[in-house]
Amino acid sequence: GAPAGAGRDLAGRNVVVSAGGTREPIDPVRFIGNRSSGRQGVALAAAAAARGAHVTLVAANIDPSVLEPLTPAPPGAPDVTVVPVGTTAQLADAVHAAAAAADVVVMAAAVADFRPETVPEAKIKKVAGRHPEPIRLVENPDILAGLARERRRPGQLVVGFAAETGDAQAGVLEHGRRKARRKGADLLVVNAVGEQQGFGTTSNEVTVLDGAGEVVARAEGSKRVVADAVWDAVLKTRS
């Protein structure tokens, strides 16, 4: 086929990309968050737009400097709508709304697994000499698994990302394999993360798995190179 990332091979396709990291309020001034910069998702959106797709980027707490390649859209270029969100509930609503018209949904966002069960209206104060009240957490819905289970549009392709560290139980790829089988997505993009890798960095190394956990592609390089490899894998899966 055509060389990676060449041409307008996504022309006429509607794609949704979620990116960044969701934040769950603890009180009016504090939140539980994560270290995702949104760079990989922004690169996915930019690459899809360059290949001719209509793109909706659901952007969870992405710094404006990271969004710069997309906003403002230069004349005649990236056909990208950015929908800013904060919490996981907001991200879920925005993704579901956009997914109704999408050929492909890519969940690149780092979604908070848990949120505080209740959020007080007033700031939590410290009391001299007293331990703080524990914060009770409840689980957030799994947006990716839900999208994979109930396709919003016939033939819609659903893609997940998995940032793994590996641990005593299994390595990065084995964790990825198990996750691919569990989530029901068509593709899962697995990358190793740690202090020096993945989060906030400008380059990346990923393995793309299918829903059975089989390797369909590997890519290494800038986040743009990885993004184009993901769209290549999407087109390969669909054609």
Q: Which tokens go with 101? A: 């018209």
Q: Which of 46, 48, 105, 107 binds ligand CTP (CB under 6 A)?
A: 107
Q: Is position 109 an interface residue for ligand CTP (rule: CB under 6 A)?
A: yes
Q: Is position 113 an interface residue for ligand CTP (rule: CB under 6 A)?
A: yes
Bridge partners for 19 per DSSP: 59
Residues 6 or more apart whose CB falls under 8 angstroms from that of 9 comprise 2, 51, 52, 231, 235
Residue 123, judged by CB atoms within 10 A of its CB (0-12, 13-18, 19+), counts as exposed
Q: Is position 160 an interface residue for ligand CTP (rule: CB under 6 A)?
A: yes
Q: Which tokens go with 59? A: 């952007």
Contact letters for ligand CTP, residues 63-102 (x by CB under 6 A): ----------------------------------------
Catalytic residue among 14, 34, 61, 191: 34
34 is catalytic: yes
Q: In 3D, which of 62, 70, 69 has the Cα closest to residue 35?
A: 62
Q: In 3D, which of 143, 62, 63, 150 has the Cα closest to residue 100?
A: 150
Q: Is position 178 an interface residue for Ca ion (rule: CB under 5 A)?
A: no
183 among the known binding-site residues?
yes
- Which residues lie near ligand CTP (CB under 6 A)? 107, 109, 111, 113, 140, 142-144, 160-163, 179
Interface residue list for Ca ion (CB under 5 A): 113
Known binding-site positions: 113, 123, 141-144, 161, 179, 183
